[in-house]
């Protein structure tokens, strides 16, 4: 079974802190994604990566950056956390970018910025 593991289930951080969310997948998938999920807004794509050291902006990249130094690991970085970044963050991976490929999600990290 594919496993996508996010380093934390719950995080509480202070405004202005630099926050790192880590995601690891164990199935040698090429593509990795970071989403945030908010009530009434659904899932929104922050960044994705289709190869090591490659990244592309999603729909809401402002205030975030990412790092993919190894194929299995994709990190989301909040440069200076703000209260409007309080959200559920979901990491996902998929084997390729072909049409019917399935994205597998981690269990999510609920981040609260105070």
Using the rule CB under 8 A, is 1 a contact of other proteins? no
Helix or strand or coil: residue 84?
A: helix
Using the rule CB under 8 A, is 43 a contact of other proteins? yes
Using the rule CB under 8 A, is 62 a contact of other proteins? no
Cα→Cα distances 80→62, 65, 114, Å = 11, 11, 12
Using the rule CB under 8 A, is 84 a contact of other proteins? no
Complex with other proteins: residue 85 or 106, whichever CB lies closer = 106
Using the rule CB under 8 A, is 56 a contact of other proteins? no
Among residues 3, 17, 20, 41, the one that binds other proteins under rule CB under 8 A: 41
Q: Is 36 exposed, middle or buried (0-12, 13-18, 19+ CB in 10 A)?
A: buried
Complex with other proteins: residue 72 or 104, whichever CB lies closer = 104
Using the rule CB under 8 A, is 102 a contact of other proteins? yes
Closest of 11, 6, 45 to residue 22, by C-alpha: 6
Closest of 84, 24, 95 to residue 60, by C-alpha: 84
Using the rule CB under 8 A, is 42 a contact of other proteins? yes
Using the rule CB under 8 A, is 81 a contact of other proteins? no
């Amino acid at each position: 079974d594919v496993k996508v593991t996010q380093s934390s289930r719950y995080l509480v951080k202070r405004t202005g802190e630099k926050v790192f969310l880590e995601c690891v997948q164990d199935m040698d998938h090429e593509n990795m994604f970071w989403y945030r999920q908010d009530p009434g807004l659904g899932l929104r794509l922050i960044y994705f990566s289709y190869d090591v050291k490659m990244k592309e902006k999603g729909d809401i990249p402002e205030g975030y950056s990412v790092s993919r130094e190894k194929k299995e690991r994709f990190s989301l970085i909040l440069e200076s956390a703000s209260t409007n970044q309080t959200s559920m963050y979901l990491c996902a991976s998929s084997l390729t970018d072909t049409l019917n490929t399935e994205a597998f999600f981690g269990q999510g990290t609920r981040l609260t910025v105070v």
